[in-house]
Amino acid sequence: MYRFVLFSIQLIFLLIIISFVFTNPFVISLDISNLKYSFSSNFFAIVLILILLSFYLIFYFLFKTRLSLSHYFLKNKYKKLEKGYFYFVEAMIAISNKDNKNAVKSHKKMTNYLKDDPSLSLLLRSEVYKIENNYVQLKQVYESMLKSKKTETLGYRGLMEQNLKEQDYHHAFLYGEKLFNLNPNIEKLYDTLIYIAAKIKNWNQIILLTDKAYSSKIINKNVLQENKSIGYYEIASVKSESDYSDAIKNIVKALNLRNNFPPFIKLHLELVSKLNKPNSLRKLIKKYWNLNPNYLVRSIITKIIIDNNIGDLVFINQIIKHNSSHQESKKLLIYFAIQNEKWNIARSNISGLIGSRPSREICLFMSEIELGENSDKQKSDSWILRAENAFSENFWICKFTHKSQKEWNSLSETGHFNSLVLSDAEMIDTYNK
């Protein structure tokens, strides 16, 4: 509408000028060298109008011709694209049917029509080479993908996965990290990177990647705290060989993120014991027992107490002061009563724990009590025999493979990161509180 109004105004203005020229004619004179030319203004106006009209017609026909040519080329380009996409679909169907021969044929036909956009060709070639297990050519395709913004994420992902297969974890992590920076929301990318970082023991990167994943809303707060705590734990474990102070700072960070987790408690107590500060160690043992009196923590502090020669019954009673009726507190007291040959204390506390199906540990306690208190080897041996048929204590299980192992590690023996849980669900609840 605006253009029409503007054109109308210009046309009216031009008509007014022409009308004025024709109603008020005048003579136009030109002196060229010694010659003088004179002509009417009406003649000049007619010639000018004819010239302008000629230019208009010339430009109009040029525009129409150019438009027709553009339409023709566009139509041809569309047909080529249509055929190219048709052969692409045909090749993908052949790949899904593992018909490599037809996939290659369709790919060659497709490249004749989609020369301007190599991204689909690269994608198709990568799928063909995967099926053929042609990893040399596949790597070259992935590297070519990195040159285009359209396909660089596919290139980085392909190179990461290929290096993973070759167990080149260092390069796999480098490509995966670049992919994560481009698009952190790719499914299972974070989990893959965390696994690789754990394999190459790059614990600082686990902490950084976990923070990025949380800020991108890929993981929840619980996963954030667990994975970061493992990073700090592993750093503390490395630092324990050289810098106790820095190691303790990192294990405290880990415990702040994952309260009362037994493997973290174990490392913390081991580090403090190396400082040769027995009073600090005693306080820490009592603190952890008050917070978390369970089988695993008991086995940890028992070893720490033995290694540091602080297993007198006065200290043991101080440890269990606030939870002396707890079953695990009684077991702790029984163990050190046996070590100190206080048989009456050991027998009085074990009497309520035997029951009809005593655990392997209780059977072994009774064996030592019978042998130590009464020198009754026959009864002692019968308890040992009974222990062989008793149920075992808790152990760690990979929640993905259900394979068990005695010691906790950030990577399970089956190769899964942060996958180990205790076989006793009740104990798991205890240290997650």
Q: What pLDDT, in 10s, does the model give residues 6-39?
A: 767 766 776 676 676 667 666 666 666 666 666 6
Among residues 315, 354, 316, the alpha carbon closest in space to that of 335 is found at 316
How does strand 396-398 pair with strand 420-422?
A: antiparallel
pLDDT tier at 425, thresholds 50, 70, 90: very low
**What is the predicted pLDDT for the residue at 115?**
65
Residues 293 and 295: their CA atoms lie apart, in Å, by 7
pLDDT tier at 427, thresholds 50, 70, 90: very low
Domain ranges of the chain: 185-259
With 80 as the cut, is the pLDDT of residue 385 above it? yes
**What is the predicted pLDDT for the residue at 200?**
94
Question: Averaged over 354-358, what is the pLDDT?
Answer: 84
Least-confidence region, from 67-76, 140-149, 156-165, 224-233: 67-76
Least-confidence region, from 87-101, 257-271, 412-426: 87-101
**What is the predicted pLDDT for the residue at 71?**
67
**What is the predicted pLDDT for the residue at 27?**
65
User: Average pLDDT, whole number, for the chain?
Assistant: 85
Among residues 367, 328, 333, 364, the alpha carbon closest in space to that of 348 is found at 333
With 60 as the cut, is the pLDDT of residue 381 above it? yes
Least-confidence region, from 80-89, 258-267, 313-322, 404-413: 80-89
The neighbouring-strand residues paired with 38 are 29
Q: Residue 293 phi/psi, 5° resolution?
A: -80, 90
Helices 203-215 and 169-182: angle between axes, nearest 10 degrees: 20
How does strand 27-32 pair with strand 35-40?
A: antiparallel
Task: Note the pTM of the prediction, 2 decimals.
Answer: 0.75
